[in-house]
Amino acid sequence: MKSSPLNSPKKAILLILTIVILTTIPLYLHENSSELNFKGGLVPLNPKINQSLPLRFPGGITTKNPTSIPLEPICNIFNGTWVEYPGGAYYTNTSECEIDDRENCMKFGRPDTEFLKWRWKPNECELPIFHAAQFLELVRGKFMAFVGDSVGRNQMQSLMCLLASVARPVDLSRAQNKSFRHWLYVKYNFTLATFWSTHLVRAYDADPNGFSYMSLMNLHLDEVDEAWSTKIENFDYVIVSVGPWFFRPMVFYEKGQVVGCHECHKNNVTELSRGFGYRMAFRTTFRTLLSLPNYKGITFLRTISPPHFENGEWNTGGTCGRTRPFKKEEKKLDGYTMELYLAQVEEFWAAKREGRRRGLKFRLLDTTEAMVLRPDGHPGHYGHGTDEKVTIPDCVHWCLPGPIDAWNEFLLQMLKMEGARSNDGKVPRNVPWKSNRYGTT
Is 150 among the catalytic positions?
Answer: yes
In our burial notation (b when 16+ CB lie closer than 10 A, e otherwise), range 167-206 reads bbbeeeeeeeeeebbbbbbeebebbbbbbbbbbbbbbeee
Instruction: Quickly count helices (H) and strands (E) in the chain.
Output: 8, 15
Q: Of residues 149, 222, 225, 394, which has the active-site annotation?
A: 394
**Can you tell me the distance from the alpha carbon of 326 to that of 374, in angstroms, rounded to the nearest whole number?**
6
Taking the CB of residue 83, how many other CB atoms lie within 10 A of it? 11
SS3 45: coil
394 among known catalytic residues: yes
Of the residues 95, 150, 197, 305, which is catalytic?
Answer: 150
Query: For residues 150 and 154, what is the distance between their CA atoms, to the nearest angstrom?
Result: 6
Decide the pairing of beta strands 74-76 and 361-365. unpaired
CA distances from 279 to 7, 361, 422 (A): 72, 20, 32
Burial class for 384, CB neighbours closer than 10 Å (0-12, 13-18, 19+): buried
Q: 101 catalytic, yes or no?
A: no
Q: Return the biggest CA–CA distance within the chain.
A: 108
Identify the active-site residue in 225, 308, 397, 405.
397
Residue of 72, 166, 79, 85 lying closest to 129 (CA atoms):
85
Residues assigned a catalytic role: 150, 394, 397
